[in-house]
Amino acid sequence: MRDESREEPVLRVEHMRIGTLPAISFEVAAGECLAVEGPSGAGKTRLLKAIADLDPAPGHIFLDGVERLEMFAPAWRKAVRYCAAEPAWWTETARSAFCLDAAGAQRLERHLAAVGLEAADLDRPIALLSTGERQRLALVRALIDQPRVLLLDEPTTALDVAAAALVEEQIRYLLLAGRSVLLASHDRGLVARLAHLRLELARPVIAAARAAS
């Protein structure tokens, strides 16, 4: 690190507006995990999708100092990867949803093993997999091409305790490897163990209306 300034954050969000929430600004550095907190409906998913540029939202987002609009949108999403709470599939089996180069194919088995899956699971019909298996496969799908920033939306909700522990370990590993993670989760324990920073999304308008009545 140079001495004249702080290290450039990987992800910088400036004055992002989600619904009626006050403008949101924050920075996340390499290896840092930011927990996005708030009650259901507060806008956690909307914020994560806006950061992945999947939903239009006013405000600026920078990845390594480059504004999102300066990047081709698909390239932005390859680097800033949103991983949905209920992952969707568009193929019969998971394998055809992975389009991998040779290096990716080598990483695949390791990634699967890390979350308690095996290569054979890729060829089972998606419809016959359990919710938890689908969620872990979707995590592998989101990690395999090594995005810089991960936006994890409830990554452990559908998982049993053992699988959730594996996913937590995987997230910890990603952070050690220098990735940045935004984590929206109702699992307080998971958040407490992983998060370095916290962002609380309140619902100021509704709260004010309730207080007045």
- Applying CB under 8 A, which part among 12-20, 84-92, 110-118, 129-137 lies near other proteins? 84-92
Other beta carbons within 10 angstroms of residue 2's beta carbon come to 7
DSSP string covering 178-201, please?
T-EEEEE-S-HHHHHHH-SEEEE-
Q: How far is the CB of 208 from other proteins (least distance, A)?
A: 27
Tokens of 50: 């806006």
Q: How far is the CB of 131 from other proteins (least distance, A)?
A: 14
User: Is position 90 an interface residue for other proteins (rule: CB under 8 A)?
Assistant: yes
Mask of contacts with other proteins, 172-211, x by CB under 8 A? Answer: ----------------------------------------
C-beta of 78 vs 198, nearer to other proteins: 78
User: Is position 84 an interface residue for other proteins (rule: CB under 8 A)?
Assistant: yes
User: Is position 53 an interface residue for other proteins (rule: CB under 8 A)?
Assistant: yes
The binder of other proteins chosen from 77, 124, 172, 198 (CB under 8 A) = 77
Q: Tell which residue, 152, 160, 200, 206, has the closest CA to residue 179.
A: 152
Tokens of 125: 């019909």
DSSP 132: H
**Rounded to an integer, what distance in angstroms lies between the CA atom of residue 137 and that of residue 125?**
12
Q: How far is the CB of 203 from other proteins (least distance, A)?
A: 21
Q: How far is the CB of 90 from other proteins (least distance, A)?
A: 4
**Rounded to an integer, what distance in angstroms lies between the CA atom of residue 123 and that of residue 145?**
20
Mask of contacts with other proteins, 127-156, x by CB under 8 A? Answer: -----------x--xx--x-----------
- Applying CB under 8 A, which part among 80-88, 106-114, 129-137, 199-207 lies near other proteins? 80-88
> Are 164 and 10 a contacting pair, CB within 8 Å?
no
Would you call 176 helix, strand, or coil by DSSP?
A: helix
The binder of other proteins chosen from 8, 14, 27, 55 (CB under 8 A) = 55
Write down the residue that tokens 């390791």 correspond to.
110
**Rounded to an integer, what distance in angstroms lies between the CA atom of residue 87 and that of residue 157?**
12
Which residues in this chain contact other proteins in the complex, by CB under 8 A? 49, 52-56, 69, 73-75, 77-78, 81-84, 86-90, 138, 141-142, 145
